Chains A and B, each alone.
Chain A
């Protein structure tokens, strides 16, 4: 319900928490759609306190039975990491990706071997 870009750069505390850089009335909501699913970010609600934040999360993210569990977190408590030196360094890092390593033939051989073992 709010502008995602609002947290101001450089106003985080030592733990990386958004703290005063975030709107204190905004609560981030995570939801589990069905048992066994991971918790996924659903969106956010604006509320003056935790109790109403829970109520509004319930209304926005499960009034039509969309969720089996909700987590409600004050945005001020979120630790934020967006430093490009840590996340997007400018050097070539393609060697960290699994691409270029052809698995297909090896997989075929492994499967055949496993099949023989089972007979």
Chain B
């Protein structure tokens, strides 16, 4: 890389979160949007931390930087969604991210499994990103303008994530021998679990009726299945199996060991000193 001087890394031209009056929203709708935002924020937060585990050990140096950058993007999206929720509920985004009990996190079960090998990570991330893109598309015209605005920004970044994950799935999935075998194994293990991204939400009908979410989660799941299956079949990989999103896909009364480990990791600094600033 060149040693030429770089411009400052953070150039906030305008705040990412638009200003709005939360009290103008119907309380039931506000609660439903807040719940939706928490699931999206937790998804992005957990996948961001999961994938950042590759920093320093990715298959090649360039991919190490690229994959870490993708993981950082997801943490950035999580921040936006936590902030937007905070603007609705008065909660502190930092407390939402770092000061909840493991059982209170609402991410999809798909994201609970440890990162495992590169093919597993790519397959899981591909499943998540394709599902997330269907969900984001269903929010693009949300009647709650601040959400539509945030979603529009996030989608522009997710476009590149999809390009990158597609490129990797194709390379691994069509490379006969070990990589393809590992992708097939990961798909077998994960394809059905990926439906947990579309687990029904409390207040989902309120969101649909108010024109925030364009269709119920079960319909989005069907949309995703048909899109993802078309892509997988083009690579001669197995289709997404039929099935409906499990109603408890985001519930974790007893968080599994893998998520408990991750939770301890990402809360370790926050738990060291209450109220620490950095």
Contact = CB atoms under 8 A, between A and B. Distances in A.
B101 interface: no
A55 B163 contact: yes
A55 B7 contact: no
Contacts of A42: 1-2
B25 interface: no
A41 B163 CA distance: 25
B60 interface: yes
B65 interface: yes
A59 B6 contact: no
Interface in A28-67: 41-43, 45-47, 51-52, 55-56, 58-60, 63-66
B21 interface: no
Nearest to A31: B2
A64 B167 CA distance: 22
Contact of A59 (B7, B60, B66): B66
- For the residues of B in contact with A, the DSSP-based class is helix
Contacts of A43: 1-2
B1 A56 contact: no
A51 B60 CA distance: 15
B221 to A, nearest CB: 29
Interface in B25-69: 60-63, 65-66, 69
B1 A55 contact: no
Contacts of A51: 167
A55 B61 contact: no
Contacts of B60: 46
Interface in A3-20: none
A55 B2 contact: no
A27 B9 CA distance: 25
B58 to A, nearest CB: 12
B261 interface: no
B175 to A, nearest CB: 11
B6 A60 contact: no
Contact of B167 (A52, A63, A65): A52
Given A1-B1, A42-B2, A51-B167, A56 B62 contact: yes
Contacts of A45: 62
A38 to B, nearest CB: 14
Contacts of B69: 59, 63
B11 A56 contact: no
Nearest to B8: A64
A66 B7 CA distance: 7
A55 B6 contact: no
A1 B62 contact: yes
Contacts of B238: none
A79 B127 CA distance: 43
8 contacts: A1-B62, A42-B2, A45-B62, A55-B163, A56-B66, A59-B65, A59-B66, A65-B11
Interface of B: 1-2, 6-7, 9, 11, 60-63, 65-66, 69, 160, 163-164, 167
Q: Lowest 8 CB-CB distances: which A-B pairs, in order?
A: A56-B62, A59-B66, A43-B1, A43-B2, A63-B69, A64-B9, A59-B69, A59-B65
